Amino acid sequence: MELNRTELRSVLSIIVVLLLMSSHAVAYDPLDPTGNITIKWDIMSWTADGYVAMVVPSTTFLTPDKRRKTQALMTWNVTCTYSQFLASKHPTCCVSFSSFYNDTIIPCPSCACGCENKNCVKSDSKILSSPGINTPKKDNTPLLQCTHHMCPVRVHWHVKLNYKEYWRAKIAITNFNYRMNYTQWTLVVQHPNLDNVTEVFSFEYKPLVAYGSINDTGMFYGMKYYNDLLMEAGAYGNVQSEVLLRKNADAFTFKQGWAFPRKVYFNGDECMLPPPDVYPYLPNSSPLSDRVVLHNRAAPLLALLLLLMAAPW
C-alpha cells in the first residue's frame, strides 16, 4: 500500500486514536515493569460502527537469570471509531451556500470553528508583510484571517445553472490560514445526486463506491501541479471547480435545499454546514418545513479511509 502525505495523515490520525484507545491496556506489564512494550495492529475490516483491528502488543523481557530474552504475546480484537472530537474540539472547516435562484448568500455559521481564545489578523493588516509571518509553527498553530466563522477552511457550494437534463454546481475552497499550504487536500461530499456525476471540471473526482451501498458520496481532490496545493491565506488561497450532474428524475428539485450537500469533509474532518432552515429557497416555496431527514446511514469518512487504504494510487 502506498500513500501520499495527506492520505497518510488521515490514516495516521486514526492510528493515533487507536493508540490512545489501547494505551491504558499496555502501559504496565507486571512481569517486567521496566521492559519495552510494542504494539502492532492490523486493520481487519470495517463495519458501520467503526473499523475492527487486531491489536498485538508484545513485551520483551529478560529472564530472571538475565541470559535470555523472552516475549509475551497476546492479541485481541477491538472496534474503534474515529472521533473528531478527540482530534479537535471544534470543526476545522465550514460550508457556505448560494444559488442562482435566490440572491441571498448563506454564510458559514458564526463561530463555526470556535471563537474563544482565538487571535486573528485582518486581511489588510501591515503585519502580513513582515518577513517570516507565514512560517509554520512547530505545533501547527494557525494564523487565521479574521472572519465571523474563524475557520481555517471554508467550502462554498453554489448552485449555478439549470439545464433541462443537467444542473451545475460550483465548488470553491478558501484557505484562511496564513501559515498553511494544504498539499494534496481532499474534499468529500455527500449529495444524493452524486450517483450521477457527469463531468467535473478542474478537480479530480472519485466516487466512494468502495463502502457497501454508498453511491451518493464522492471525493474531490486537486489536479497534480495545477491545484493540488491549496495555498496559504491571501490572493491565491483558493481553488475552484464545477460539477455537472445529470438530474435524477424522481428526486431532483431546487426546493427545500435539495441541491445542497448533506455532508462535507475537508481532509477527513467534517465541516459545519449552515442550519437547514436558512438554506436559500425558491421564491414561492416554503422554507424547509418538511425537509427530508438527512440520511446518516453510513459514515463517508470510513468510506474515505477504506478507499485510501485500498486504492491503487
Ligand X SMILES: *[C@@H]1O[C@H](CO)[C@@H](O)[C@H](O)[C@H]1NC(C)=O
- Contacting positions for ligand X (CB under 6 A): 35-36, 44, 54, 60-62, 75-77, 102, 104, 106, 134, 136, 179-181, 195-196, 213, 215, 231-232, 246, 248-249, 278-281, 283
Strand 166-175 with 238-246, pairing: antiparallel
98 — phi, psi (to 5°)? -155, 170
Of 254, 111, 273, the closest CA to residue 193 belongs to 254
Q: Cβ closer to ligand X: 84 or 176? A: 176
Of 2, 1, 7, the closest CA to residue 183 belongs to 7
CB of 85 to ligand X, least distance (A): 27
Q: Cβ closer to ligand X: 252 or 265? A: 252
Q: Cβ closer to ligand X: 246 or 291? A: 246
Angle, helices 5-26/300-310, rounded to nearest 10 degrees: 110
CB of 104 to ligand X, least distance (A): 4
CB of 162 to ligand X, least distance (A): 16
CB of 103 to ligand X, least distance (A): 7
Three-state SS for 59?
strand
The cell for 117 is 481564545
Q: Cβ closer to ligand X: 181 or 202? A: 181
Q: Cβ closer to ligand X: 55 or 84? A: 55
- Which DSSP string corresponds to 6-55? HHHHHHHHHHHHHHHHHHHHHS--TT-TTSEEEEEEEEEEEETTEEEEEE
